[in-house]
């Protein structure tokens, strides 16, 4: 039996605002983590970590979302719907535009690629690493969840020539029985054995006002406000699980390179969490218009993807404190397992994002602890890990209102 979602207390409008924020937060995880991978292992090894990380998680969480929103299939439309609900392709920041020729042939291009704009200042090697070395195997892995005879191939992609070329890239998506099947990814079995992947969430109430699923036509842009409250709660919880599954896969990739140095592995994971924890908290706080005080900080903690979904991370919010207990997330070694009274930097980053005068006071054991938020007279300096993550344009990204139009075969 699943535990009631902490997102269920939000209104339908608040959820429609929060879901794209969560998708963007998931994409920004690597803006935090890969910086520490480069400093520890170098650029080439960082590329391999990213490939293993996404390939080991995206087919699993893609299939979960398909089942949750009732759009399972074997065609390009199913693949495109999945991308619209994938932390690897958050709306607008990674502005995928889709064309469907028929069930087996389609294209997409990116009118705006926030990830590209993040790495272009780093030089052509980094652009090729992301747009060639990482994209080729991970697009195949994403398609694997839908049809193993799918090929995602570039028409053009960066480095951009000329330097301001638009769209940023264009790809074909073709499913053909003559194509060889995409090979199985070994780490999928390991990630699929995680508590995160096996987490059961409440079913969507089909009688709730609004869309209960995504079984209808592919839309140009998802109007999250069209979904029911129940559907949005499920989507929010699934998006948080996407992040945790990505971290299970990331942990495997890091462990493979730090077999004799557990301290280094923990340091990379901890710095990654600290950076994304602060950036995520700032975005959630602003998006929902929460107060810049202790109550607002506790509310941000309660809604933070580090501590969700409720069926995976055991958390209880009381009037003036939040309690964390041993949970499946600890068994998987995901984010919350890195936090304790002796390792509180991610929590300090979260409360400081609400107001730099706030501090988190933790008490308890390594796995069972309580946090209270207090106000001080001194503003905390921003952590270097948060500053690194804020280099991404996604940290300050502003979503715009768009019309959601059905896409028909052309």
SS (H, E, C) 134-146: HHHHHHHHHHHCC
Which of these three, 216, 246, 276, is where a domain ends? 246
Domain that holds residue 29: 7-246
In terms of domains, do 22 and 128 share one? yes
Angle between helices 135-144 and 43-55 (to 10 degrees): 10
Number of independent structural domains in the chain: 2
Which of these three, 246, 275, 297, is where a domain ends? 246
pTM value is 0.97
Rounded to the nearest integer, the mean pLDDT of the chain is 96
- Asked whether residue 407 is assigned to any structural domain, the reply reads no
- Asked whether residue 256 is assigned to any structural domain, the reply reads no
- Asked whether residue 374 is assigned to any structural domain, the reply reads yes
In terms of domains, do 237 and 270 share one? no
Contact present, 98 and 107 (Cβ < 8 Å): yes
In terms of domains, do 31 and 138 share one? yes
- Asked whether residue 404 is assigned to any structural domain, the reply reads no
- Asked whether residue 410 is assigned to any structural domain, the reply reads no
Helices (H) and strands (E) in the chain, counts: 14, 8
Q: Which residues contact 39 (CB under 8 A, 6 or more apart)?
A: none
pLDDT of residue 38: 96
285 burial type by CB count under 10 A (0-12 exposed, 13-18 middle, 19+ buried): buried
In terms of domains, do 205 and 167 share one? yes
Query: What token pair was written down for 189?
Result: 């079995």
pLDDT tens digits for range 196-216 = 999 999 999 999 999 999 999
333 burial type by CB count under 10 A (0-12 exposed, 13-18 middle, 19+ buried): middle
> Which residue's structure tokens are 């948080």?
240
In terms of domains, do 198 and 301 share one? no
Segments of the chain with pLDDT less than 70 = 1-2, 410
In terms of domains, do 48 and 160 share one? yes
In terms of domains, do 58 and 153 share one? yes
Contact present, 312 and 328 (Cβ < 8 Å): yes
pLDDT tens digits for range 27-86 = 999 999 999 999 999 999 999 999 999 999 999 999 999 999 999 999 999 999 999 999
In terms of domains, do 280 and 136 share one? no
pLDDT of residue 184: 80
In terms of domains, do 234 and 282 share one? no
- Asked whether residue 209 is assigned to any structural domain, the reply reads yes
Give the span between the Cα atoms of 327 and 194, in whole angstroms: 13
pLDDT of residue 410: 65
pLDDT tens digits for range 99-127 = 999 999 999 999 999 999 999 999 999 99
pLDDT of residue 1: 38
pLDDT of residue 144: 85
DSSP 382: P
In terms of domains, do 191 and 287 share one? no
- Asked whether residue 2 is assigned to any structural domain, the reply reads no
Contact present, 345 and 383 (Cβ < 8 Å): yes
> Which residue's structure tokens are 């042939």?
105
In terms of domains, do 55 and 149 share one? yes
In terms of domains, do 280 and 210 share one? no
pLDDT of residue 142: 83
- Asked whether residue 238 is assigned to any structural domain, the reply reads yes
């Amino acid at each position: 039996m699943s535990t009631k979602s902490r997102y269920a207390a939000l209104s339908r409008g608040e959820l429609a605002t929060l879901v794209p924020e969560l998708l963007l937060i998931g994409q920004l995880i690597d803006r935090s983590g890969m910086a520490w991978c480069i400093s520890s292992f170098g650029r080439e090894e960082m590329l391999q970590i990213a490939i293993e990380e996404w390939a080991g998680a995206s087919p699993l969480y893609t299939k979960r979302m398909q089942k949750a929103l009732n759009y399972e299939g074997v065609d390009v439309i199913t693949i495109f719907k999945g991308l619209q609900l994938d932390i690897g392709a958050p709306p607008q920041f990674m502005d995928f535009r889709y064309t469907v020729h028929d069930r087996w042939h389609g294209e997409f291009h990116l009118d705006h690629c926030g990830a590209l704009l993040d790495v272009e200042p780093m030089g052509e090697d980094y652009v090729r690493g992301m747009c060639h070395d990482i994209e080729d195997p991970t697009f195949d892995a994403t398609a694997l969840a839908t049809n193993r005879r799918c090929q995602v191939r570039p028409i053009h992609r960066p480095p951009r020539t000329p330097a301001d070329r638009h769209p940023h890239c264009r790809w074909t998506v073709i499913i053909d029985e003559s194509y060889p099947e995409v090979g199985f990814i070994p780490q999928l079995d390991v990630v699929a054995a995680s508590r995160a992947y096996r987490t059961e969430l409440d079913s969507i109430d089909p009688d709730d006002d609004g869309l209960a699923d995504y079984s209808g036509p592919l839309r140009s842009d998802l109007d999250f406000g069209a979904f029911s409250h129940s559907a949005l709660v499920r989507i929010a919880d699934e998006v948080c699980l996407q992040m945790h599954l990505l971290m299970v896969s990331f942990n495997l990739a890091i462990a493979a390179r730090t077999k004799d140095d557990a301290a280094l592995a923990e340091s990379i994971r901890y710095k990654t969490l600290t950076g994304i924890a602060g950036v995520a908290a700032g975005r959630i706080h602003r998006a929902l218009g929460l107060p810049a005080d202790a109550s607002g900080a506790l509310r941000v903690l309660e809604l933070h993807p580090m501590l969700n979904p409720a069926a995976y991370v055991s958390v209880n919010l009381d009037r003036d404190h939040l309690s964390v207990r041993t949970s499946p997330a600890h068994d998987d070694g995901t984010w919350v397992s890195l936090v304790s009274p002796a390792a509180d930097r991610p929590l300090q980053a979260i409360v400081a994002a609400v107001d730099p005068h706030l501090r988190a006071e933790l008490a308890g054991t390594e796995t069972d602890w309580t946090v209270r938020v207090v106000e001080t007279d001194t503003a905390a300096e921003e952590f270097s890990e948060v500053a690194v993550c804020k280099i991404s344009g996604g940290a300050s990204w502003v979503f715009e209102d768009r019309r959601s139009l059905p896409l028909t075969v052309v």
